[in-house]
Amino acid sequence: MKLWSGRFRSQLDPFALKFSSSLDVDKQLYREDIEGSLAHVAMLAKQKIISSSEAAAIRKALKEIEREISRGKLKLDGRSPKQRFVAEDVHMAIEQRLMEKVGPLGGKLHTARSRNDQIALDERLYLRRTAQHILKLIRQLQRTFVAKASQYESVLMPGYTHLQRAQPILLAHHLLAYVSMLERDNERFSDVLKRVNRSPLGAGALAGTSHPIDRKSAARSLGFDSLIENSIDAVSDRDVLIEFIAHCSIVMMHLSRFAEELVLWSSQEWRFAEIGDAFTTGSSIMPQKKNPDMAELVRAKTGRVYGDLIALLTVMKGLPLAYNRDMQEDKEPLFDAASTVTDSLAICSSMLKTVRFDVKRFEKELASDFLLATELADYLVRKGLPFRKAHSIVGVLVRVCSEKRTSLAELPLTEYRKRSKLFEKDVHKVLDPRASLSRKRSAGSTSPKEVQKAIRSWMKKLRS
């Protein structure tokens, strides 16, 4: 029988029960469900809606149930140990077990509460815990990037735009770009916690309750900052879930970009980096292969999280107020996005620690391209030429070098002076990559001084 079966003459069709059950998914909310019930029963006793002895008995049984589940003694598989009920969700499964322990008294726990505000509460408790865990993992990955940047602080590399070589930069500067990206992720998850940390408990099904409850005391006991004031909004909206998954999607986009670079850089065509053996795999047929599988999987899993976001947005887009059963489908995308992001952050941090960069390869590539063309244009600008004119002159010089199959450094002064008399004997001094970096003056640039300052600043910030 169902706990809500009084209205009905016949049992739910077995296939309909299976189709509508969410227990296989929402059972991972059992800790949050029990935490919320403990706060609710304490409030009921405080308001003298139930007696203190009744509250004590319910509280004792709930803690026993939590231990039973956590130790594997009670399986949330839809049936109670005595087979009297078939539960369709985690709330009913726990309530059924409670009634087996304390009898009809267990039914008093649901006084002044609906499953609608109950699940909204559980999800916010889950979001709070998970967002805080993600924040720790973001910090961990940031520290790994900063440590790697410090390790390779003085190493130069070609910087890219359009996947074409652009200007020389410090490898540390490149790595610190990911630290900045992750810092914005940190800000977003910190910010969503402000909206997550509002309690829906006490909203009931949608209209509140006639019992003299104290929503604020229950919220305080659960560590919430405030209430969701409107009872309809409290049970019928999932925007904090959507916002959370949107933030997860941005994290995954950042991780995917990093993963893509590892895939490229570890290839024989690039040979900029090598990933440690513990995070690569071989081939079943080709003995020479060392495949960047973990990076590829992070890149692929990004699509899953994007899908989770679209799935939940689509579920919610046409729902009239207030609660609708459609909203049961919010948990799979939520749990999937959360687990994918936490796993991906952790694997990226562990994998990055094993990455070795090929310093000699970087040096070789810096000497074989036109990465200092912009420096030549700036050289002419410093001598009074408008930048657009300087840009055009250097463009011609690059074309000449390409046709002659030589480099800017090898081009004789006579070729330079054919294009502009402003070129003098000191022109070749400009074509030194390390000197190029030292000439950078703008804040946040790739100059050694700015990068050193950035590393020190991040180390200090991430320690705190």
> What band does 409 get if pLDDT is binned at 50, 70 and 90?
confident
Residue-wise over 377-399: b if at least 16 C-beta within 10 A, else e? bbbbbeeebeeeebbebbeebee
Q: Is 39 helix (H, G, I), strand (E, B) or coil?
A: helix
Q: For the chain, what is the total number of helices (H) and then of strands (E)?
A: 19, 6
Task: Express each pLDDT in 247-299 by its tens digit.
Answer: 999 999 999 999 999 999 999 999 999 999 999 998 888 888 899 999 999 99
CATH class of the domain at 373-431: mainly alpha
- Domain positions in the chain: 5-111, 116-211+231-364, 373-431
> Which residue bears the tokens 């690569």?
280
The answer to whether 108 touches 51, Cβ cutoff 8 Å, is no
Question: pLDDT at position 88, please?
Answer: 86
Return the number of other C-beta atoms located less than 10 Å from residue 42's C-beta: 17
> Sign of the C-alpha dihedral, residues 251, 252, 257, 263?
positive
In 3D space, the residue among 134, 143, 125 whose CA is nearest the CA of residue 343 turns out to be: 134
**Whether residue 10 has pLDDT greater than 70:** yes
At 397, list the tokens: 């010089």
Whether domain 5-111 has CATH 1.10.287.1080: the reply is: no
In 3D space, the residue among 331, 267, 344 whose CA is nearest the CA of residue 303 turns out to be: 344
Return the number of other C-beta atoms located less than 10 Å from residue 462's C-beta: 16
Task: Express each pLDDT in 285-341 by its tens digit.
Answer: 888 889 999 999 999 999 999 999 999 999 999 999 999 999 999 999 999 999 999
Element (H, E) at 297: helix 293-316
Count how many Cα atoms sit within 13 Å of the Cα of residue 122 in the half-sphere of its side chain: 25
The answer to whether 205 touches 87, Cβ cutoff 8 Å, is no
231 vs 208: CA distance, rounded Å: 6
Question: pLDDT at position 375, please?
Answer: 87
400 vs 380: CA distance, rounded Å: 18
> Sign of the C-alpha dihedral, residues 153, 277, 183, 296?
positive
Residues taking part in catalysis: 162, 283
Q: How far is CA 453 from the centre of its chain?
A: 27
**Whether residue 27 has pLDDT greater than 80:** yes
Phi-psi region of 401 (alpha: psi -120 to 50; beta: other; left: phi over 0): alpha
The answer to whether 179 touches 141, Cβ cutoff 8 Å, is no
In 3D space, the residue among 154, 164, 212 whose CA is nearest the CA of residue 363 turns out to be: 154
**Whether residue 83 has pLDDT greater than 70:** no
Q: Calculate the average pLDDT of the chain.
A: 93
Q: What is the mean pLDDT of residues 141-160?
A: 97
In 3D space, the residue among 84, 64, 88 whose CA is nearest the CA of residue 76 turns out to be: 88
Q: Is 158 helix (H, G, I), strand (E, B) or coil?
A: strand
Beta bridge partners of 292: none
Return the number of other C-beta atoms located less than 10 Å from residue 205's C-beta: 16
Nearest 5°: the CA angle 122, 123, 129 is: 95
Count how many Cα atoms sit within 13 Å of the Cα of residue 374 in the half-sphere of its side chain: 12
47 vs 209: CA distance, rounded Å: 14
Whether domain 116-211+231-364 has CATH 1.20.200.10: the reply is: yes
Read off the amino acid at residue 93. A
